[in-house]
Structure 1
Amino acid sequence: MLRNLVIVLGDQLAADASGFDGFDPAQDAVWMAEVGEESMHVWSTKPRTAVFLAAMRHFAADQRGAGHTVHYMELDDRENRGTFADQLAADLARLQPAGLVMTEPGEWRVREALQQTADAAGIPLDIRVDRHFFCTVAEFTEHAAGRATLRMEYFYREMRERHGVLMTDRGQPVGGRWNYDADNRKAFPKQGPGLVPPRATFPPDDITRDVLALVERELAEHPGSLDTFAWPVTRAQALEALELFIDERLPGFGDAQDAMWPGEPWLWHAHLSSSMNLKLLHPREVVVAAEAAYRAERAPLAAVEGFIRQILGWREYVRGVYWTQMPGYLQRNAFEAFEPLPDWYWTGDTPMACLKDAIDTTLENGYAHHIQRLMVTGLYAMLLGVDPREVHAWYLAVYVDAVEWAELPNTLGMSQYADGGLMGSKPYAASGKYIDRMSPYCKTCPFDPAKRTGDDACPFTTLYWDYLIRHEQPLAENRRMALQVKNLGRLDDDEITAIRDRADAIRRGDVAAPKGTR
């Protein structure tokens, strides 16, 4: 008799997960499956799929090494049914477990499919709280009760106090301030970022090489490259990546966290989100390591606070938003944006220098840092008026750290403002001048960020003004956008018409780079 079949998904690779509580190797077994659905329901890039499959196979090997029975279905197995639901149904009929156990999934779609499969088979499914997070869904639900808007800053302060992170013995924030944004987020000097310590890289072992060959063979038509694949896919590798970041790049993280530089995708960032989202790292150990660096005077407070806020604050917050707002959240489209995502988001074939660099590095590495995501690819899609569900599908498909609980609120709420202000107090709307301030892209781009109209006008700038024109009424009611909307008063009717005509041409794809460069 098989007592419990413990379901382990690709983003649940922690040996101490709640799904393993009470696990008895003599009576229980582990169930894992690589299914095509997870690379097909969004057109997953090769690096993203490879990270998940390589980490899953290493975890399954560790489980077998611990003496656990593992029922594992590989992607190219002839018996593979292609979806979690169909594969689980077939294996339940074959294995006949008395019960199913799992840690709560990170995606609504997957949870519903597995629950329905268990119900159809008449086998109870025990879904347990995910201990990987600082805040449970129930605790966030209590925090959100009665709030018309959900502001991260208030939640973040609660989390700092509750968990005693960067706090004094008197219950005050270390340094006397909760937020050190004013001390961070600088542009690089004219000569560039200087010598940046290299990120942690991990040459593929035999297991990972098998996965890379599998992905190239089975998903040959999918975008992205595996030529430079070196992501951590085991817990030991993830811990090494954490140590390297804390020692070498955390001290420079704050100043450079929003800066961009052509051909420099990694910079001072941590590159730990995929390891945390796979559950190879626990966010507590990441936060503890960062705070310890500050206490030991190995990293400045502004850098440490800015980094910890992304984990203890933002990461926990977006998960809470996801689970308190789904499934309806996916359908939100406050500004009725319905344009298609440009095809070149999948190729990088655009003359706009900032977008080309961000998309090229995304497709090559499965990675771009948060400002490239928010203020380059995300900003352009919002100004263009792309359907937020298409933007969401792209982000979920292209990044190695993309799991829906983390990606959807970041995309639909923060980046696209499609939730109408539930998460953010204003849209992240900016012209090409922001990119010019935070990077040197505009110096080699054929478009001028200072121009709204004309053949060489930056499409970001044209679309920014068009965005204000199209949504003037709702934006004027937002006190944080009032000044930007007020600037529309400087435009006469002819210029408004010229802006709108050029914006329409951009949406049709009729705008090409002017001859020569500035």
Structure 2
Amino acid sequence: MKTARFILGDQLNYQHSWYNDTNDEVVYFMAEMRQETDYVKHHIQKVVAFFKSMRSFAEWLESEQHEVVYYTLDDEKNQQDLVANLKQVIKEHKIEKFEYQLPDEYRLDEQLNAFCDELTIETEAFDTEHFLTSRTDFTDFFEGKKQMVMEYFYRNMRKKYDIMMLNDKNPEGGKWNFDQSNRKKWKGAPEIPIEKQVKNDVSSICKMIENAGVETIGNITINKFHWPTTREACLDVLNYFCKNLLVHFGDFQDAMHTDEQYLFHSRLSFAMNSKMLHPMEVIETVISYWRNHQEAIAISQVEGFVRQILGWREYMRGMYWKEMPNYRTLNALNNTNSLPDFFWTGNTKMNCLKHAISQSLDTAYAHHIQRLMITGNFMLLTQMHPDAVDEWYLGIYIDAIEWVEITNTRGMSQFADGGLVATKPYVSSGSYINKMSNYCKDCVYKVSKKETEDACPFNSLYWNFLDEKREHFKDNQRMNMMMSLLNKMDATKLEALKNRAQAVIANPDNY
């Protein structure tokens, strides 16, 4: 039976069982499409990385003797639409059965479901064989529970997969979580090795994107495009992380510094989110390296890394499939403001935002604390609409696919889901930023001041936010201390803070 198998750009799983055997009756189809480049304005490096990785994957399939039909963006046959392209391939190749792997984005899942409903030939959907949980495992785990707490989910995953466990009940090291050990400020030592250099020639892809008129954001330096776009390169980055960065990963995973973009982070999220690396493969490689080097690498360095993948990544995907499609409409705090222009340029006098945004524009990367406590913190304190926030995060980061972006952004960062992901909003004044970075050192604003013109805007924005959202947090136990301090604050001082904050909110591009 002549069969067409469709592969999306984030389904580059070299180890999928589809590829174990060759079959002359099977045609694999992949396509670079304007449908995917244009549904949100993406970072140029993100578009390039996906196209380059897709082409590498198609070349690998052909080297394994599989038949591949691949539409580049400028292919004359390319209809630039998923359904139109699939209909064309099915007709041209006289396809009798259509197969695909389950998408991880809700919009694509709906589109492919509707397409299959229209077909008169046989269809079948397959698992991507990537995630450690099914779409419904998360829902089943939290059935009947009042809150969907990530820590409980993480502990269950540790037990289920026997990851860093002494026995069926007890974790290695005597604790499930070493987060308290992972909050050090990096002050110039220990020395940080340069990121793994990956050689990529992306000049032709960049030219094609430019000629096609695809609108993108951010910057790219063609001869310095160091993101891995083959499985071999992804494995090299993983091994480099183990040998050079793991030793201090946990200590400084929350740190930020003006001179260091990556610190001790792995830069593996794109490799995993495109499925070139399997999460268990990453976890086992890191743990194996640690076991062979325990005299040099503390368990806290490893546990923090494992928790992000085994716990947080799977938790966010589970939340996505449980709560979609309603999740994308949530705006529990009723925030309505627009993003200032500096989110697209980096041109702001606030040093922390200038560095975090400029880095994002230059590299398509920022680590989780830059996203959560710098850009996300400012967005929430200035009460920006979560739709605008989602669009920016989904577009600017190389690893951003909706299943992981929207739950982190609308949930963890913006509290727009009313507390499904996070039990309290992740907001802070300038003191936290100063504690975890050197951003405040050379800023024109003073982190020690509150209401004056030269005061750090985060300080007044923080108290203004708490005051304006009193009703939302009055019954939140984790906010009791801060709300109590707010209630005891001198009325004149609070008014001065609010006046300063309102000036920032009204004209953020002036700051």
Confirm or deny a common fold (TM above 0.5).
yes
CA distance in structure 2 between the aligned counterparts of 1:442 and 1:184, rounded to whole angstroms: 21
Instruction: Identify the residue that residue 376 of structure 2 maps to in structure 1.
Output: 378
Matched with 1:62 is 60
1:113 counterpart residue number:
111
Q: After TM superposition, give the deviation of residue 77 of structure 1 in Å.
A: 2.0
1:275 corresponds to 2:271: yes
CA contact (8 A) 1:46 1:219 kept: no
Q: In terms of mean alpha carbon deviation, does 2-11 or 361-370 score higher?
A: 2-11
Tell me the TM-score normalized by structure 1.
0.94
Q: Does 1:222 align with 2:216?
A: yes
Partner SS state of residue 360, structure 1? helix
**Distance change (3 Å), C-alpha of 1:496 and 1:124:** farther
* Matched residue, 2:15: 16
Residue aligning to 1:516:
none
Deviation at 1:90, TM superposition (A): 3.1
Q: Distance in 1 between matches of 2:213 and 2:259?
A: 27
Q: Percent identity at matched positions?
A: 38
Distance 1:143 1:499, change over 3 A: same
> Is residue 3 of structure 1 aligned with residue 6 of structure 2?
no
Other-structure match for 2:422: 424
Moved more, 21-30 or 126-135: 21-30
State the match for 2:252 in structure 1: 256
Question: AA paired with 2:251?
Answer: D
Partner of 1:328: 326
Give runs of aligned pairs for residues 334-353 of structure 1, distance below 5 A: 334-353=332-351
Look up the match of 1:444.
Answer: 442
The answer to whether 1:361 aligns with 2:359 is yes
Task: Give the length in aligned residue pairs.
Answer: 507
- Decide whether aligned partners of structure 1 residues 75 and 344 sit closer, same or farther in structure 2, where only a CA change above 3 A counts: same
- Residue 248 of structure 1 deviates from its aligned partner by 0.8
SS in 2 for 1:52: helix
Verify the 8 A CA contact 1:414 1:423 in the aligned structure 2.
yes
- Residues 50 and 211 of structure 1 are in contact (CA less than 8 Å); yes or no, is this contact kept in structure 2? yes
Q: CA separation in 2, counterparts of 1:50 and 1:367?
A: 14
Offset, 1:274? 0.3
> What secondary structure sits across from 1:311 in the alignment?
helix
Q: Distance in 2 between matches of 1:411 and 1:472?
A: 22
Residue 509 of structure 1: how far off its partner (Å):
1.3
SS at match of 2:5: strand
Asked if the contact 2:38/2:214 (under 8 Å) is kept, the reply is no
- Do 1:451 and 1:457's aligned partners in 2 also have CA atoms closer than 8 Å? yes
Distance in structure 2 (CA, Å) of the matches to 1:102 and 1:237: 26
CA deviation profile, 1:487-518 (whole Å, cap 9, x unmatched): 113433333333333322222216735xxxxx
Instruction: Name the CA shift for 1:447/1:219 in 2 (closer, same or farther; >3 Å).
Output: farther
The one-letter code sitting in structure 2 at the alignment partner of 1:11 is: D
Cα pair distance change 1:438/1:510, threshold 3 Å:
closer
SS of the residue corresponding to residue 76 of structure 1 reads: coil
- Following superposition, the deviation at residue 67 of structure 1 comes to 1.3
Give a deviation string over 1:133-158, Cα, whole Å, max 9, x none. 11112322211222332111000000
| 1:26 alignment partner, SS class | coil
Residue of structure 2 in register with 1:47 after alignment: 45
- Give CA deviations for 1:409-448 in whole Å, capped at 9, x if unaligned: 0111101111111111111111111101111111111112
User: TM-score, normalised on structure 2?
Assistant: 0.95
RMSD: 1.7
Q: Secondary structure at the match of 1:5?
A: strand
Distance 2:465 2:198 in 1: 44
Q: For each residue in 1:292-341, what CA deviation from the matched residue of structure 2 results, as whole angstroms up to 9, or x when unmatched?
A: 12322152100000000000000111010001111111111110111112
Give the aligned partner of residue 150 of structure 1: 148
CA distance in 2, matches of 1:219, 1:375: 34
Q: Indicate the SS of the match to 1:443.
A: coil
Determine helix, strand or coil for the equivalent of 2:10.
coil
SS of 2:477's partner is coil
Paired letter, 2:16 = A
Deviation at 1:88, TM superposition (A): 2.1
CA, structure 1 residues 84+402, in 2 after alignment: closer, same or farther (shift >3 Å)? same
Match of 1:212 among 187, 200, 206: 206
Counterpart-to-counterpart distance in 1, 2:244 and 2:220 = 26
Match of 1:289 in 2: 285
1:236 aligns to 2:232 (yes or no):
yes
